[in-house]
Every structure is written in structure tokens, then in C-alpha cells.
Amino acid sequence: MKFSQLLSKYCQDLSCTNIELSKRSNLDPSLISRIKNGKKGTNIDKQSIETISNALIELANDKKIIDFPKDIKLHLENALKEEKKLRKEKQALFSNNFDLLLKELNVKNNHIANYLVVDPSYISRIRNNKRKPYIIDQFIDSVCKYLLKYYFNDEDLKIYRELLNYNKKILAPDLFTEKMKNWLINNNEIKKNSLDILLREIDKYQIKKIVKDKMFLGEVKSEFILPKNRRYYGVEETKQAILDFYALVINNDKTSDIIVYNDFPLNIYWDDTMFIKKWLLYMQIAIEKGNRIYKIHYLNESTSAIFDEINTWLPLFMSGMVKPYYLEKQTHTVSSSLLLVATNLVAIIGESTVDDNSIMTRLTKIEEEVKYYEAKSRSFLKIVKPLAQIFFKQDENEYEEYLESRSGKKKDYIRIINMPPNFTMTDKLFEKLIKENTLSESYLLYIKKRCQIRNGAIKLFLEDFQMLDILSILSEEEFNLKVRKMIVARSTNDEDIVYSYQDYLDHVNQTKDFSEKHPNYKLIVTNEFNYENLEFYIQKENCVVVEKTNYPIVSIVFENERIIEAFEKEILHIIKT
């Protein structure tokens, strides 16, 4: 109960008017009226609460109301404390959503501030939860009018539909305003939208679709000229420095080895969807031109930051042109550093103080300086360690040997899967699928033998260890968006075993039955990880495997304990919330 409501209840119990309470407490009647109507908000001092409490108790004694509580001061203080807490949470929620909205649309503070006739710092403080709008309803109305005027094209509507969870084609202005108001005030989803939306595209392995947005193509193809030496200041300019670096690489006729090291706080990048899209575009084009990238990760970050960074680099690892490494210790103890070098072309050097994150970055094309920083980056490669092993289509035998070499290291598993596992399928359904699909006799013998060995090994594993599978159930409409196949082997094969939707539902139910019968096998059904072509296998204290399950299959294996910890913690955190 709010403070104002509780005070009104006490007055009602005593049949006490505002004037009566005013005379006893020596407080102005208009002040008491404002408090009871909630217009005073939570701006009520302790002295006023004590004065009101004493006055109410005196009135109760005068009116001989025996059961009137004596500890109303404590109740009123607790109600006010709880109301203040809720207001802070609501303000933080609004600021979080407002900031996310502007980031998704790439809205600049000065542009929206100019429309709202306020200072850009006012917008910045609201986004950072350091200021709340004076009248929030009026502020949101003005924001919606701004969005309708400047951010209502087809690309913007895609973003709105994703944020507002609105799937219909037409989003009329009135309905948009209504839904946006509600979303800004009430949306309490984890702030993972930017990366999650991006990862769902990465999951489809359609990097070109992500990056080749029309809004970016003209920028990359245009003539690109930079001075030989340029400085950048602050977070936003540092992002631009990184994009300028890759733009120079793209516009160069020759290919380079690109060495990337960065121990700046990772959240300054991954919270900015527009930057990630541009960065992915530049990286993809650089890779397509034949540039080879050596990425040195710094893992002394929060698990959530590591999880976000690794997921963002996944499609680039899958290209085969990016080699991932990690550095165990930071290069400096007083400052964070950034070093990007494209051999014989350009280098970027950045520095940030650890305490206040003020950043200065310098881009240089001066030949002698580029050679110096190239030598410095090469020295990094001598002390780093490989972060992952990557197995492609042609590496099936090596991958099988790797799995065999680790077969003795048994630990509990957490898996995010996009189809029910083969080992939960009944023999009857398996035989039905075989009959419904035209398979050669040799391939039929192969898959039967393979499934028998694999399924037997997993069931043996479950006798002593636990496995948690996280599976998203598809609607019939979602299921029919693509051909669903039973994955038997990593190598490409024309003889696919295709599911019908009814087969799929039967298999899901069989997986649920299997979970009920096997205490060491748990199944969680959720829509948090609805990936079509990515599966994640986390074996505690052992490894993380990320597998692209559509052909050609790519498997990325991480054995680093920080990566394992990051994936395990973040995935379990998302499930719990």
C-alpha cells in the first residue's frame, strides 16, 4: 500500500478530516490534502511523518478507539520506504528502456534534444538514470511524436516490432504511441535485446543479410580519405576510429594480416547495435577480400561481457579467416589499451585510464609507425594462447579423434539444442522416418550403426552424470519455414532424413517421456534460445562446443575456464529470469 493510501486509511478509520488533522498536527490543511492525494509524492520528511503519527494517535485516544495501532509511525515509514524503492525501480526501468530504444534506432542525443527543446545533457542524464522527466507522460508523448516524424521507415518498423513484440504488418501511429508508452514504462525484459536480435540472425548464418543493409553500402563503397595521423577522443569517437580502420582495409587493393588486441571494457561496444552491425559489415567484407585476422581476446571481464563478445565473434570464427587467441594478463596495470594493425597499411593505438574510462585513440598511416606497431603486435602473438579449436566439414576425422580423446573426461552437460536429441527417439519413430525417406542401403546401415553407438554412449553417460537440455518448441508455422532434418553426421550427404511436423511433435513428447523416466536427464522447454542452426554444449569444467548444425557443419571448441564459466553462468541466469 502506498504512503498516501495508508494515511487515508488511518484517517478514515478515525473519521478524521484534513482540517481536524491539521489542527492537531499544526500542518497546513493543503499540505495534508496533497499528501493524501499522492501529489506530494515521496517528498515527505521524517519530522512530518512523526508529527502526523503523533496527531493521529492523540485523536484515536480522544475518540476512545482502543484497537487503533500504536506503531503507525513505523508502518508509515515502511510504506514510504517501499514506495521510494518502487519509484526508483520504475525510473531505472524507464531509463533502461529509453536508452535501449535510442540505441536500437541510433538516435543522437543532440537531435532528439533539439526537437524536444532541451539540452542534450538532459537526454543523456535520463538515459543514464541520473535524471527523471518532470512529467513523464508528457515527455513520452513528445518522444513518440519525434519518432513518428523522424524514425518511422521500414527499417525502423522492424525494430519496433521486435521491441514491442508486435507481429502484424501495419502499425498505425495511434497504436504505435499506445504500445510505445506501455513498453517504455513497463517493459522489464533483460537488456539483451541488441545482442539477442543480432545473434538470432547470426544463428541463421546469414551474416551477409545482417551486414549488407542498404543504409551502410553507400558508406563503404564511397571514396574514403583520411589524414596520415588522426586522434579520436571518448567512447563514440573510438568506435568511429575502429570503423575508419576497417574502411581503410576494405578500400585497399592489397590484403593484410590484421592483428586485433583490445582490453577496453567490452560493454562500451556491445551495447551499441548500430556499431555492431557496421563493424560486422566491415569485417565480413575484409574477410571476403582475403584479409586474415588474428583476434587476441582479453578475458579478465565479467562473465556477461565475455559471453557477449564471444557470441558476436562466432560467425567470424566460422568463416575460417579469423584465428582466436587470448592473453592471460593485461598489458598495462594503470590503463587499458587498444591495438589494431593491418600490415603495411594502418594502425590504431588507444589508451584508457582504468578509473574514469576517458579514452584517447590515434590512427596512423605513417609507414615507420605502422611497422613499429606491427612488430609490437607480432610480439603479442608470441605470448598468447589459442582460444578455440575450429573444425570444418573437411575436419570430420580430426573432430572424431578429438571427441574420442576427451571421452574419459566426463562431467555434467548443459545443452541448447534446436531439435529433440536422437537418443530420446523410440525405435518405432526411427523406423517410420527411415521408411518415409528414400535412403540407399549403404547409408541406411551407416546411420543405424552410428545412432546405435552414439545413443548407447549417451545412455551409458546418463547412468553416472547429468544432462540438461534446453529446447525451444516450434509452432507449425515456424517449423515450416525450412526443411527440418535429423542430423546424423557432420559431413554433407544428399540423403537427408526429413521430419514432418507431426513427427517433430511426437519426438518432442518422447523426449519429455524420456526425461520423466531418467532422473539424470532434465528437459527445459523455453523460447529464450530459439536458434535454427546453432547448438551449444557446455560440459562443466571441461569445454564449450558451439556447433552450426546446417551444412556445412562447423564446430568451435573452447576449453578455457573463463569461457566455460561465462557460458554456464549466463545461460543459467537467462533461464532463471
Give the distance from CA 466 to its chain's centroid.
27
Taking residues 170-195, what's their average pLDDT?
Answer: 76
Please provide the average confidence, as pLDDT, over all residues in the chain.
82
DSSP string, 281-307: HHHHHHHHTT-EEEEEEE--S-HHHHH
pLDDT above 70 for 210:
no
Q: What pLDDT shows up at residue 277? A: 77
Taking residues 238-263, what's their average pLDDT?
Answer: 90
pLDDT above 50 for 192:
no
Per the CB < 8 A criterion, the answer to whether 90 and 76 are in contact is no
Taking residues 196-211, what's their average pLDDT?
Answer: 46
DSSP string, 475-523: PHHHHTTS--EE---SS--S--EEPPHHHHHHHHHHHHHHHHH-TTEEE
Question: What would the pLDDT profile of 440-459 be if each residue is shown by its tens digit?
Answer: 888 888 888 888 888 888 88
Per the CB < 8 A criterion, the answer to whether 91 and 132 are in contact is yes
Q: Going by C-beta distance under 8 Å and a sequence separation of 6 or more, which residues neighbour residue 505?
A: none
244 membership: H or E segment, kind and range:
helix 234-250
Taking residues 286-310, what's their average pLDDT?
Answer: 87
Q: What is the β-pairing status of strands 534-539 and 413-417? A: antiparallel
Q: Going by C-beta distance under 8 Å and a sequence separation of 6 or more, which residues neighbour residue 1?
A: 9, 79
Taking residues 325-329, what's their average pLDDT?
Answer: 83
pLDDT above 70 for 173:
yes
pLDDT above 80 for 355:
no
Question: What would the pLDDT profile of 35-89 be if each residue is shown by its tens digit?
Answer: 888 766 667 888 888 899 899 998 888 888 888 888 888 888 888 888 777 777 7
- 253-268 in b/e burial notation, b at 16+ Cβ within 10 A? eebbbbbbbbbbbbeb
Q: What pLDDT shows up at residue 72? A: 86
Q: What pLDDT shows up at residue 415? A: 92
Q: Confidence class of residue 354 from pLDDT cuts 50, 70 and 90?
A: low
d(CA 277, CA 269): 11
Q: What pLDDT shows up at residue 569? A: 85
Q: What pLDDT shows up at residue 561? A: 92
Q: Which of 487, 472, 428 is nearest to 574 (CA)?
A: 472
Q: Confidence class of residue 575 from pLDDT cuts 50, 70 and 90?
A: low
385 membership: H or E segment, kind and range:
strand 385-386
Per the CB < 8 A criterion, the answer to whether 349 and 362 are in contact is yes
Q: What pLDDT shows up at residue 574? A: 67
pLDDT above 50 for 194:
no
Per the CB < 8 A criterion, the answer to whether 245 and 338 are in contact is no
Q: Given its phi and psi angles, is residue 392 left (phi above 0), alpha (psi -120 to 50 degrees) or beta?
A: beta
Radius of gyration of the chain (CA): 30
pLDDT above 60 for 214:
no
d(CA 46, CA 34): 17
Q: What pLDDT shows up at residue 86? A: 78
| Four-CA torsion 451, 457, 460, 461, nearest 10 degrees | -120
d(CA 466, CA 399): 23
d(CA 60, CA 56): 6
What are the helix and strand counts (H, E) for the chain? 24, 17
pTM value is: 0.61
Taking residues 511-527, what's their average pLDDT?
Answer: 92
Handedness of CA 292, 337, 268, 299 (dihedral sign): positive
Q: Which of 115, 118, 170 is nearest to 147 (CA)?
A: 115
* Domains of the chain (ranges, CATH numbers): 3-70 (1.10.260), 106-189 (no CATH), 201-386 (3.30.870.10), 393-576 (3.30.870)
pLDDT above 90 for 305:
no
d(CA 57, CA 68): 8
d(CA 465, CA 411): 6
Per the CB < 8 A criterion, the answer to whether 148 and 181 are in contact is no
Taking residues 406-419, what's their average pLDDT?
Answer: 83
Q: What pLDDT shows up at residue 357? A: 55
Question: What would the pLDDT profile of 105-155 be if each residue is shown by its tens digit?
Answer: 888 888 999 999 998 888 988 987 878 887 888 999 999 999 999 999 988
Q: What pLDDT shows up at residue 241? A: 92
d(CA 283, CA 249): 9
Per the CB < 8 A criterion, the answer to whether 566 and 300 are in contact is no
Task: Outline where 318-413 has alpha helix (H).
Answer: 367-383, 396-405
pLDDT above 80 for 28:
yes
| Four-CA torsion 215, 220, 223, 225, nearest 10 degrees | 110
Q: Confidence class of residue 225 from pLDDT cuts 50, 70 and 90?
A: low
Taking residues 170-177, what's their average pLDDT?
Answer: 88
How is the beta sheet containing 543-548 ordered, strand by strand? 388-391, 554-558, 543-548, 534-539, 413-417, 467-471, 521-525
Cell digits of residue 406: 576427451
Q: Confidence class of residue 370 from pLDDT cuts 50, 70 and 90?
A: very high
Taking residues 544-567, what's their average pLDDT?
Answer: 88
- How many CA within 13 A on the CB side of residue 24? 21
Backbone angles phi, psi at 293, to 5 degrees: -115, 135
